[in-house]
Amino acid sequence: MSGDGGARILVVDDVPENVRLLEAVLTPRGYDVISATDGSVALELAESAKPDLVLLDVMMPQPDGYEVCRRLREREETAVLPVIMLTASDGPEKTKAIEAGADDFIAKPFNHEELFARVRSLLRIKRYHDTIKELNRTLEERVRTQVDELERLQRLQRFLSPQLAEAIVASGDESILLSHRRHVAMLFADLRGWTVFVDSVEPEELMRVLGEFHETIGGLVRRFDATVGFLQGDGVQLFFNDPIEIPDAALRAVRLGCALREEMAELTPRWRKRGYDLDFGAGIALGYATCGEVGFEGRSDYAAIGAVTNLASRLADEATGGQILLAQRLYAEVEDDVEVEPVGELTLKGFPRPVAAFNVVAVRETAPDLSHV
């Protein structure tokens, strides 16, 4: 409703002449007038026609004006609908009109200008109320949307970097979380000396060391936009090119491995000062995997399953402290950008033939820094 013009007014009076009089007075002022000659029809129109104001006669067959007003106030959608009751006197009828929930009253015969003034006043209040109601509805929708987005973001951030999680939520398309095939670079890393360490320390110290290791991993996940396959105990599985495709998955995986080695070069000496002989090893492979969200409602992970997953895991098992072992196929993708030393062919559990592997010495300085791209 914009201004008074176009406002819809429901006129209710059991005397047709009175209805026609009010129509003749209100219509030239630009009001859209609908009418009813009994209370039951008035209640139906109040719901279906959605008027902005009701001019309601008191003395009608049941339900009379008082009862109509009371029922309007009982309904949520008409609880604040402006009602002006047309009364025959300013005495008892006025009191009963107010008790029934009327916003205003006018004694018959009414003065036209007084009627217009009171109609305009209540329509103005109705506009304010409608504006507030719309703002509240919009706010509720925004809050609901933001809560939904936050819940999705929190779920996605369990296995994606914040940047990737936010990109998926912003797009509104989570179909990429459904099962699909994707060419990925897979990285496994875990701690050397972990079994002996677990048997020799208190649980509190074990959790402290794990926390330091996981915090290091978390920083690198954010820095290189990795996807977390799992983070369990001393082991971590990260992969690249899914669910968001990137052109440099293999090199990015190697860069993360080297960055992890640099971080661990600062962390492991601190552990040794506390008496813990720990180091890390990693394996990286390239190949196709079946990717998607796995689990059940309330508890899910994102997984990449396939031979490439097993290969990276077995290479990590073979790595000695500080080694980052690359599979042949992945090395072929990055050989112009990395320096390696061959470690020969390894016999890996689950693989019928020996597998050639290469230890990463360094990433060449001429290679661009691809983190945060």
Q: Provide the CATH number for the domain formed by 166-363 in this structure.
A: 3.30.70.1230
Q: Given a cut of 80, is residue 366 above it in pLDDT?
A: no
Residue of 85, 81, 83 lying closest to 106 (CA atoms): 85
What separation in angstroms does the CA of 373 have from each of 184, 249, 252, 366, 369? 18, 12, 10, 17, 9
**For residue range 155-192, what is the model confidence (pLDDT) as tens digits?**
666 656 565 666 666 666 666 667 889 999 999 999 99
Q: Given a cut of 50, is residue 3 above it in pLDDT?
A: no
319 vs 3: CA distance, rounded Å = 77
Residues of the chain with CATH 3.30.70.1230: 166-363
Cis link prior to 92 (omega < 30° from 0)? no
**For residue range 273-330, what is the model confidence (pLDDT) as tens digits?**
999 999 999 999 999 999 887 766 655 677 889 999 999 999 999 999 999 999 999 9
287 vs 298: CA distance, rounded Å = 30
Q: Given a cut of 80, is residue 251 above it in pLDDT?
A: yes
- In this structure, of 160-169, 260-269, 337-346, 351-360, the range with the lowest mean pLDDT score is 160-169
Contact 75, 47 (CB under 8 A): yes
Q: Given a cut of 80, is residue 116 above it in pLDDT?
A: yes
Give, for 360, the enclosing helix (H) or strand (E): strand 355-363
**For residue range 38-82, what is the model confidence (pLDDT) as tens digits?**
999 999 999 999 999 999 998 888 899 999 999 999 998 899 999
Length of the chain, in residues: 373
**For residue range 187-239, what is the model confidence (pLDDT) as tens digits?**
999 999 998 999 999 999 999 999 999 999 989 998 998 888 877 778 999 99
315 vs 188: CA distance, rounded Å = 8
Residue of 70, 73, 54 lying closest to 119 (CA atoms): 54
Given this model, what pLDDT does residue 22 score?
92
Given this model, what pLDDT does residue 151 score?
65
Q: Given a cut of 90, is residue 361 above it in pLDDT?
A: yes
347 vs 345: CA distance, rounded Å = 7
291 vs 120: CA distance, rounded Å = 64
For the full predicted model, state whether its pTM sits above 0.75. Answer: no
Residues of the chain with CATH 3.40.50.2300: 8-135
Chain center to CA of 340? 43
Q: Alpha-carbon torsion 316, 318, 324, 327, what sign?
A: negative
Average pLDDT, the chain: 86
Question: Over pLDDT 90: what percentage of the chain?
Answer: 58
Residue 366 backbone dihedrals phi, psi, to 5 degrees: -75, -15
Q: What one-character DSSP code corresponds to residue 75?
A: S
Q: Given a cut of 70, is residue 145 above it in pLDDT?
A: no
Question: Over pLDDT 70: what percentage of the chain?
Answer: 85
Q: Given a cut of 50, is residue 1 above it in pLDDT?
A: no
Q: Given a cut of 90, is residue 109 above it in pLDDT?
A: no
258 vs 369: CA distance, rounded Å = 12
249 vs 76: CA distance, rounded Å = 57
Q: Are strands 299-305 and 324-327 parallel, antiparallel or unpaired?
A: unpaired
The DSSP annotation for 207-253 comes to: HHHHHHHHHHHHHHHHHHT-EEEEEETTEEEEEESSSS--TTHHHHH
Rounded to 5 degrees, what angle do the CA atoms 183, 219, 278 make? 95
Which burial class, exposed, middle or buried, applies to 95 when counting CB atoms under 10 A from its CB (0-12, 13-18, 19+)? exposed
Given this model, what pLDDT does residue 232 score?
78
Residue 129 backbone dihedrals phi, psi, to 5 degrees: -65, -45
Residue of 24, 25, 29, 22 lying closest to 54 (CA atoms): 22
In this structure, what token pair is assigned to residue 270? Answer: 């601190």
Given this model, what pLDDT does residue 2 score?
40
Give helix then strand counts, H and E, for the chain: 11, 13
**For residue range 74-97, what is the model confidence (pLDDT) as tens digits?**
998 899 999 999 887 666 777 788
- In this structure, of 114-128, 142-156, 328-342, the range with the lowest mean pLDDT score is 142-156
Contact 290, 242 (CB under 8 A): no
Q: Provide the CATH number for the domain formed by 8-135 in this structure.
A: 3.40.50.2300
Segment 226-255 mean pLDDT: 89
215 vs 315: CA distance, rounded Å = 23
Residue of 186, 344, 197 lying closest to 279 (CA atoms): 197
